[in-house]
Amino acid sequence: MPMPKFFVTTDDGDSTFRDEDGLEFKNRKAATDDAQRALVDMARERLPNGERVALQVQIEDEVGDEVYRASLKFEGDTLKEEATSVRSDEEGDGDEPPTPPT
């Protein structure tokens, strides 16, 4: 008995690819497991890339019905750098030798 065929579409935020030939999987769970692994692989290829990436994968069965959709969204924000305090020589920042007491 032939295994069911599923069609996978991936979107990496820049381009969308649909496998027109389809892939055979033992069952729907095997196809969805593969889709989840594909998201991890896509993230590994795209990161680090800056601050944002949105990835998506969907699976259709042989008749074209969508049977699974998953997405992975990454957002990272660089926090404001900590300000360094600058003290004047009068406050004794170490650039000038201390003035001896009189």
DSSP calls for 33-48 = HHHHHHHHHHHHHH-S
pLDDT in the model for residue 46? 85
Count the helix, strand and coil residues of the chain and give each as a percent rounded to the nearest 5: 20, 30, 50
Q: How many beta carbons lie within 10 A of that of residue 59, not counting itself?
A: 23
Q: List the chain pLDDT tens, one digit each, 102 residues.
A: 789 999 999 999 889 999 999 999 999 999 999 999 999 999 988 888 777 889 999 999 999 999 999 999 988 888 887 666 555 555 555 556 666 666
User: Any idea where the domains of the chain sit in the sequence?
Assistant: 5-75
Amino acid at 101: P
